[in-house]
Chains A and B, each alone.
Chain A
Amino acid sequence: MAFSLPVGPQHPIHPEATLIKIEVEGEQVIDADIDVSYVHRGIEKAFEYKTYAQGLYLAERICGICNVAHTTCYAINIEELAGIEAPTRAQYLRLIVEELARIHSHLLWLGLLAHLIGFESLFMLIFRDRELVMDLIEAIGGNRVVPAYNVIGGVRRDIDNALAHKIREALGSLKERVKRYRRVATEDPTIRARTVGVGHLSPSEARDLLAVGPVARASSIKYDVRADDPYIAHAEVPFNIVVYDTCDTWGRMMVRIDEVLESIDMVLYALDHLPSGDFRVKVPPIFKLPPGENVARVEAPRGELLHYVVSDGSEKPYRYKVRTPTLANLMAVREMLRSRGGKAVYVADVPVVFGSIDPCICCTARVLIVDERGQARETTIDELARMRW
């Protein structure tokens, strides 16, 4: 019989917000809830106080890992409403950096998954290979994680032939490493044991709970903003939408690995077909946007990212709305954590299941476990993961 304990803010163990709260019966999770309040920074309100150029730097810091997706989305949003057309060369350059960012994000995730499973050597190897991509982003944009490459009107710097050559070389070796990781992911029994059938999300649940990105694509939903609502140079640079039907963590992992391989090919294609011309049109530092509204969407590494702007004709937005992919996947992961329909979820699976949505949250995030006697204990995702080794 399940025991339900209200786990509100007055609970003796945690006066502050806890990220994941689970109710258990023995080792099985029967209910779960996620609380994202501790990272709330009030950014949408802050946008209303910034000029459009300042807003770009705020958008960049909504999520440090997805920062390129945010600046891409923001730039195209403002450009469309303002009637500014970034040159085609800029759109290709944007795509190159966007896909490099996707590669580093997916590799980061893969490394962290290896860490959660206890595969420390694999974590270190993946992070070492990921450094190849960080070097490229730094060479192109001037900074590693947050290159501030996109501006309203284009990009800040060009890629010349020497740099293009460097990119091709690095991606050539990376491709071979990733193919090896793909083999490991497909065949290694430990990885399979911890991911196959774990964190089930059926296609109809994915639809009903509004999942996006690799989470949705691992549950058979064939939707990718780059193909379905192309932006920047995506209508011209071919790629395959990666879909799996296994509906589990293993599928989500395979989607991301295959997407890395797709992204590598996209960058190489874009380099080979880079249009000549300017990489930026000049835009005054402070400008007014005509009154109106616009929706912009990009495929961030974690899934569909949506920005919505309302302009009142001034130099600052009246309203700026951001819906991140992690938020979209929150309801889905909550459901994934619950044992249901004959599929049990165990406490020790919680870190891997939660991690499978690639949440923008660190491993020190806390977990509150309440059992059937109403006893509660607190731990972190990392500690829970260690319990299983």
Chain B
Amino acid sequence: MLLLNTGACNACDIEVLAALTPRYDVERFGVLLKGSPRHADILVVTGAVSRQIKDRLVRVYEQMPEPKFVAAVGTCAISGGVYDKCYNVYGGVDKILPVHAYVSGCPVKPEAVLKAINALAEKVMRGERD
């Protein structure tokens, strides 16, 4: 999985980070955090998508090989959250990319992140496509 923060307060990022650590441990589901889109099957997006980062979000998605899935993590990534109508944000990942999992919460809980990533990982392993 690849994590991208598109203009968030970081609370969701810390909880995604917590999902990597011993108590929650996403690795036991066979999921690893990667640094490059070319090695990722799942794109985990936090944040409301700021104007500046939108092109990069699209570019990262395009660089990922098929099959690929997107998880919108946190209320901001789903709908813009508290930044709804703010002048510098698009307000939701699905305004830019197809989204396969919506994880709500402000911030999300690590368990919810695990559930979503696990579900998407299973799709990858079953060879499903978008």
Contacts and interface: CB of A to CB of B under 8 A. Distances in A.
Touch between A and B in complex, CB under 8 Å? Answer: yes
Interface stretch (B2-10, B62-70, B118-126): B2-10
B10 to A, nearest CB: 4
A124 B4 contact: no
A57 B107 CA distance: 12
Contacts of B9: 61-64, 67
Contacts of B5: 39, 362, 364
User: Which bucket holds chain A's interface residue count?
Assistant: 35 or more
A302 B48 CA distance: 24
B128 interface: no
A380 B5 CA distance: 13
Contacts, number: 104
Contacts of A16: 52-53, 55-56
A45 interface: yes
A39 B52 CA distance: 8
A350 to B, nearest CB: 16
B3 A362 contact: yes
A64 B107 contact: yes
Contacts of B18: 127, 131, 134
Nearest to A61: B9
A46 interface: yes
Interface string A12-49: 00011100000000000000000001111111011001
A225 interface: no
A128 B3 contact: no
Interface in B1-52: 3-5, 7-15, 17-18, 21-23, 35, 48, 50, 52
A41 B7 contact: yes
A65 B11 contact: yes
A64 B82 contact: no
Contacts of A241: none
Nearest to B7: A39
B106 interface: yes
A38 B10 contact: no
A32 B67 CA distance: 39
Nearest to B86: A42
A360 interface: yes
A357 B11 CA distance: 18
B83 interface: yes
A146 B107 contact: yes
Residue among A16, A43, A58, A65 facing the most chain B CB atoms (10 A cut-off)? A16
Nearest to B55: A16
Contacts of A258: none
Interface residues of B, number: 35
Given A43-B86, A46-B85, A64 B8 contact: yes
A382 B50 contact: no
B124 to A, nearest CB: 21
Residue among B3, B14, B22, B89 facing the most chain A CB atoms (10 A cut-off)? B14
A36 to B, nearest CB: 10
Given A39-B7, A40-B88, A124 B82 contact: no
A40 B51 CA distance: 9
Contacts of B55: 15-16
Contact of A124 (B14, B22, B50): B22
A293 interface: no
A158 to B, nearest CB: 24
A16 B55 CA distance: 7
A145 interface: yes
Nearest to B59: A16
Nearest to A15: B55
Interface in B78-128: 81-83, 85-89, 106-107, 109
A360 B9 CA distance: 8
B52 A57 contact: no
A146 B11 contact: yes
6 contacts: A40-B50, A41-B83, A43-B83, A360-B10, A364-B4, A383-B35
Closest 10 A/B residue pairs (Cβ): A64-B11, A127-B21, A64-B9, A64-B10, A42-B86, A17-B52, A61-B9, A38-B52, A42-B87, A145-B11
Given A39-B50, A46-B82, A64-B13, 12 more contacts: A16-B52, A16-B55, A38-B7, A61-B11, A62-B9, A108-B14, A128-B23, A134-B18, A360-B10, A364-B3, A364-B5, A364-B35
